[in-house]
Amino acid sequence: MPQATPVPTKSSGELLTSALWNTYVRDNLNKLLDRGHRVLTVAQFLALTGLEDGDEAYVEVDAANEVQWHVRYKSSSARWRFLGGPSLAANVATAETSASTTYVDLATVGPSITAPLAGVMDAEISAQVGASATGGNELAALKVGAAATADADAGGGYATAATQRNSAGRDLRKTVARNDVLKLQYRENGGGGQTGTWRERGLRIRPVYVTQA
């Protein structure tokens, strides 16, 4: 609940002055309307000012897929802690191949999610992998913004046939800037010239906290 000023008890016959009205009615109603129960767009969330410790907001981060995040403000760190809401999720089911030993996009770029807010995000990556020959090692890694894609952010699977569906997954916690594009990129690490196949490629992100940066 938003931080409201406790309303004093008044006796019959006492008049309601403007000072009393402003403090106990106007300000409390403003807090209730502005910070507790409205669903804000990302732009409106970024436009919030005059914040107080404990203020809460519901932010619509994906209108098309009905994703809203519930957050609470912590004034000492100027961060909004994540209280609840579904993950942003993107998936590419189609199987696509690559023999590249350096990280590349597949024919369908992604899956990709654009970070609506800056902060620290928990990311889950997943894929089903196959390879054209024995000894394949198919990696799927998370690329964040302009940073180079690295094995340190990859999940991998070992496959021996193109039609296999071995799992490659990874959980990561990453600091992201607002509007950073998070996407999966892929490389074949088998060392034997195999062609990797990746299908059912998934990416989910959910915040630990966000900021208005």
Partner 1 sequence: MSTLNDLRALGYDVGLAYGDVDVEREALADALSRATPQAVAADAETVTRAAIAELRSRGVRQEALIAKAAEIAAAALEMTQAARDDEVAFHERAVAIAEQIPTVVTVSGYGLAGLQIPVGNDAATPADPEAQAAIDAIAADRPHRWRRFDWLAARAPQARRAALLEARELLLELRGKGYDPAVDVQDDGTGLEARIHNAETDERVQTVTTLAQLRAAARDLPDLTGG
Contacts with partner 1, residue ranges (CB under 8 A): 12-13, 15-18, 21-22, 25-26, 30, 34, 41-44, 46-49, 60-65, 88-97, 99, 105, 107-114, 116, 130-133, 162-163, 178-179, 181, 192-195, 197
> At its nearest, how many Å lie between partner 1 and the CB of residue 5?
15
* Two structure tokens written together for 142: 């998370």
Pseudo-torsion of CA 145, 146, 151, 156, nearest 10°? Answer: 40
Choice between 30 and 189, CB closer to partner 1: 30
Of 76 and 147, nearer to partner 1 (C-beta) is 147
CB 48, min distance to partner 1, A = 8
- Choose between 76 and 97: whose C-beta lies nearer to partner 1: 97
Q: How far is CA 96 from CA 2, 103, 111, 171, 184, in A?
A: 49, 14, 12, 23, 13
Judged by beta carbon, residue 172 or residue 194, the one nearer partner 1 is: 194
* Smallest separation (angstroms) from partner 1 to the CB of 209: 18
Query: Measured in whole angstroms, how far is the alpha carbon of residue 93 from the centre of its chain?
Result: 21
Helix (H, G, I), strand (E, B) or coil at 65: coil
Rounded to the nearest whole angstrom, what is the least distance from the CB of residue 14 to partner 1 in the complex?
8
**Tokens 């309307």 appear where?**
33
Nearer to partner 1, 12 or 76 (CB): 12
E strand intervals along the chain: 39-41, 56-62, 67-74, 79-84, 88-92, 96-98, 112-114, 118-131, 136-144, 154-159, 166-176, 181-188, 196-211
- Phi first, then psi, for residue 21 (nearest 5°) are -60, -50
Nearer to partner 1, 4 or 181 (CB): 181
Omega before residue 111 within 30° of 0, cis = yes
Query: Minimum Å distance from CB 114 to partner 1?
Result: 5
Cβ count near 72 (within 10 Å): 16
Minimum Å distance from CB 41 to partner 1? 6
